[in-house]
Amino acid sequence: MSSSLPVPNGHHTASSSEKPASIQSDSPTVINDGKKNNLPPTAHYEESSIFGPQHIEISTATLNNPLDGMSAEEVLRDVDTFVEEKGLSEHRELFRRGALLARVAQREGGFEEVSEIPEDEKKILREEITHRWRQPFMLYFLAVLCAGSAIVQGMDQTAVNGAQQFYFDEFEIGPEKVYIRGLLNGAPYLCSCLIGCWTNAPLNKYLGRRGTIFISCFISFASSFWMAAADSWWNLLIARFALGLAVGAKSSTTPVYSAESSPKAIRGALGCQWQMWTAFGIMLGFVASVAFQNVTAPIGQSIDPPRYPQWRWMLASTAIPPMIVMIQVYFCPESPRWYMEKGKHDKAFRSFSRLRNHPVLASRDMYYAYKMLEAEKHQREGRNLVKEFFTVRRNRRAAQSSFFVMFMQQFCGVNVIAYYSTQIFLDAGFSRSQALLVSMGTGIVNWLFAIPAIYSIDTFGRRNLLLTTFPLLGLCLFFTGFSFWMPAGNVEAGEMSTGRVAMIATGIYLFMAAYSPGEGPVPFTYSAEAFPLYIRDTGMSFATATCWGFNFILSFTWPALVDAFTPQGAFSWYAAWNFFAFFYTYFFLPETKNLTLEELDIVFSIGNREHATYYKKKLPWYFQKYILRKQVEDYPPLYQLGGGGSMSEKIARTQSRSSQR
């Protein structure tokens, strides 16, 4: 077979000036021209009906800078008006330079052409690209705060994993009471779905991101002691239901706070800290279970009937992380975009300045965000925002994509392991002590394998992480479920089949290793950045309510599901969802990496049909490149940054190509 494909008759070959060589697929990559001579002939993928869109620049979306088409003089006049209106006159010269940088923000190396920028500031701008992790202390301090909030979340989730083995005995909730067991485990997530997530918008409106985090951590702190002091299963149920108020508000706000405060180059990495440190909190919950499993104080085992104080210590230990976060939260700056939404532009600039390496970067990012938000404001004037959440394609696509990744965070099956791994290992033949210890291992694996996502989420991308890991998750769950068909040994006599328990443990450990860099960090990072600012709080409430609602369904139904369908059927059910998710992600889920929050407006304006058609037509390109291992021409991107001339010039070029067909 020839390694190149003929160009259909009448089709014009796009020049390098019309289709940037630096863009491959829908992600920017650099082509090493020095290696081209050693490669086989190139297969050409042009603007044909066979391999991609007919019109690259019109039928695909261009992420336009709102300052595109404005001259430097017009930009300077506009920024002068801006600083006067917003009370920032003392920073006029700084914002003038920032505005000129915002004008070329989408042009690679564009700041080098701006003569008004002194050399010392150009050095800062170069280092922003070459040393993206060289950020101010306060940005990392804020990241630590968000990490602490995530640890609270994770520990609240899994302290119950070990504790339930004791309070089920104390409150005489036997294996036959599957729905009471499921309700006790799922109560926080039922409350979060029904109430907690919906407190996010009003709390953020009046208290800001920091105030919401403080309130939610206080509720976590108080409910930890309430759960530890419960004297009946229904009292424990009410305490765990109250915990859901904190779970919903905290999980809705913390990722948004991180996304709004971070520069775009590392926004995904800092955003995925939520999942990484949630995983660390999950691990701490397992550690607490192991640490307190033999503690008898203060009640002791001489009481008749015997009591089990271990679970009280396990649940009380979850009060420590929220106490630390409450102390830290008001040392961090508030979200600058929240300040801008409230019209407090002087405070927004101070916040941006604390979160960026240089005031000129702060002025550029603030002015650029302001212009994007101004354009968005004009578009929504006089419209019903609740109605637009569902009827405007940009908002509907953001909601659809966020809800999907949140739904799959539960239906990939991970919280079956987070909440029930100890019981799963007991069913596999482990003793209680061994089951607690091996469960702790799942938490350690979950945290360790979340670390690579910090580096890959902004380079490999959110979408690609999901496409890589969903099939692995499905295979691991099939492996785990089918391992239960192995001979169990004589469990009653204490003789377990080592091969069987090893296979089950291996399947679960591999599952956690595949989950942590993919469906672990992506959902909250993705949802926090998907919605436009004016409905971001409401959108994040919907997204987290979706997450915790299905979390409740999973935790509530798992005992009954295992009882009805056996472990093999229960694990296979969730395995099948992962394979469905792979195909949905490929055809319908947009990529969001390396774009500002405001630029994502255009990404989510691309409809489902356009997105699915593009990736359907791209399948032959993947086949040629990755299966046949051929050197192929870069495929036209689904969207590209603006800056390649005015829109009229782009239309003229497209019409010129069309007339030659």
Q: Which helix (H) or strand (E) holds 478?
A: helix 462-483
Q: Can you tell me whether residue 322 is helix, strand or coil?
A: helix
Task: Look at residue 259 in the predicted model and tell me its pLDDT.
Answer: 83
Q: Can you tell me whether residue 641 is helix, strand or coil?
A: strand
Distance CA 268, CA 527 (A): 11
Task: Look at residue 302 in the predicted model and tell me its pLDDT.
Answer: 45
CB atoms within 10 A of CB 493: 7
Take residue 243 and report the two structure tokens written for it: 């915990």
Q: Are 519 and 405 in contact (CB under 8 A)?
A: yes
Task: Look at residue 661 in the predicted model and tell me its pLDDT.
Answer: 39
Per residue in 128-165, pLDDT tens?
888 888 899 999 999 999 999 999 988 988 888 888 88
Task: Look at residue 33 in the predicted model and tell me its pLDDT.
Answer: 37
Q: Are 210 and 256 in contact (CB under 8 A)?
A: no
Task: Look at residue 39 in the predicted model and tell me its pLDDT.
Answer: 41
Higher pLDDT, 38 or 532: 532
% of residues, the chain, pLDDT over 90: 32
Give the model's confidence band at 641: pLDDT under 50 very low, under 70 low, under 90 confident, else very high: low
Per residue in 473-527, pLDDT tens?
999 999 999 998 988 766 565 566 778 888 998 999 999 999 988 888 888 888 8
Q: Using alpha carbons only, how large is the chain's radius of gyration in Å?
A: 27
Q: Which amino acid is at 270?
A: L
Place of tokens 């067909």: 661
Task: Look at residue 593 in the predicted model and tell me its pLDDT.
Answer: 82
Give the model's confidence band at 95: pLDDT under 50 very low, under 70 low, under 90 confident, else very high: very high
Checking if the pLDDT of 275 tops 80, the result is: no
Task: Look at residue 366 in the predicted model and tell me its pLDDT.
Answer: 93
Give the model's confidence band at 427: pLDDT under 50 very low, under 70 low, under 90 confident, else very high: confident
Contacts for 230 with CB less than 8 Å, ≥ 6 apart: 236, 239
Per residue in 39-77, pLDDT tens?
444 444 444 433 333 333 333 344 567 787 788 899 999
Task: Look at residue 264 in the predicted model and tell me its pLDDT.
Answer: 78
Tell me the average pLDDT across 79-98. Answer: 92
Give the model's confidence band at 447: pLDDT under 50 very low, under 70 low, under 90 confident, else very high: confident
CB atoms within 10 A of CB 140: 14
Distance CA 181, CA 312 (A): 17
Measured at the alpha carbon of residue 407, what is the angle toward residues 402 and 409, in degrees to the nearest 5?
A: 100
Per residue in 334-389, pLDDT tens?
999 899 988 899 999 999 999 999 999 999 999 988 887 777 676 566 666 677 77
Q: Phi first, then psi: what are they for 40, rounded to 5°? A: -65, 165
Higher pLDDT, 291 or 594: 291
Task: Look at residue 249 in the predicted model and tell me its pLDDT.
Answer: 86
Q: Are 446 and 154 in contact (CB under 8 A)?
A: no
Give the model's confidence band at 599: pLDDT under 50 very low, under 70 low, under 90 confident, else very high: confident
Q: Which helix (H) or strand (E) holds 371?
A: helix 359-380
CA distances from 244 to 258, 336, 521 (A): 22, 28, 21
Contacts for 55 with CB less than 8 Å, ≥ 6 apart: 47, 654, 657, 658
Higher pLDDT, 660 or 367: 367
Distance CA 495, CA 491 (A): 5
In order of start, what are the domains of the chain with their CATH numbers?
65-131+337-381 (no CATH), 138-332 (1.20.1250.20), 397-605 (1.20.1250.20), 609-659 (no CATH)
Checking if the pLDDT of 329 tops 60, the result is: yes
Task: Look at residue 642 in the predicted model and tell me its pLDDT.
Answer: 54
Give the lowest-confidence range in 255-269, 409-423, 431-445, 642-656: 642-656
Task: Look at residue 418 in the predicted model and tell me its pLDDT.
Answer: 80
Burial label, 608 (beta-carbon count in 10 A; 0-12, 13-18, 19+) = middle
Distance CA 419, CA 439 (A): 10
Q: Can you tell me whether residue 62 is helix, strand or coil?
A: strand
Give the model's confidence band at 8: pLDDT under 50 very low, under 70 low, under 90 confident, else very high: very low
Task: Look at residue 164 in the predicted model and tell me its pLDDT.
Answer: 87
CB atoms within 10 A of CB 656: 11
Per residue in 516-540, pLDDT tens?
888 888 888 888 888 886 787 788 8
Checking if the pLDDT of 245 tops 70, the result is: yes
Contacts 24+ apart (CB under 8 A), 235-240: 236/167, 236/171, 236/184, 237/183, 237/184, 237/187, 240/160, 240/184, 240/187, 240/188
Task: Look at residue 381 in the predicted model and tell me its pLDDT.
Answer: 62
Contacts for 360 with CB less than 8 Å, ≥ 6 apart: 94, 97, 98, 101, 117, 121, 124, 125
Task: Look at residue 369 in the predicted model and tell me its pLDDT.
Answer: 87
Checking if the pLDDT of 233 tops 50, the result is: yes
**Whose CA is closest to 486, among 473, 461, 503, 469?**
503
- pTM for this predicted structure: 0.70
Checking if the pLDDT of 12 tops 70, the result is: no
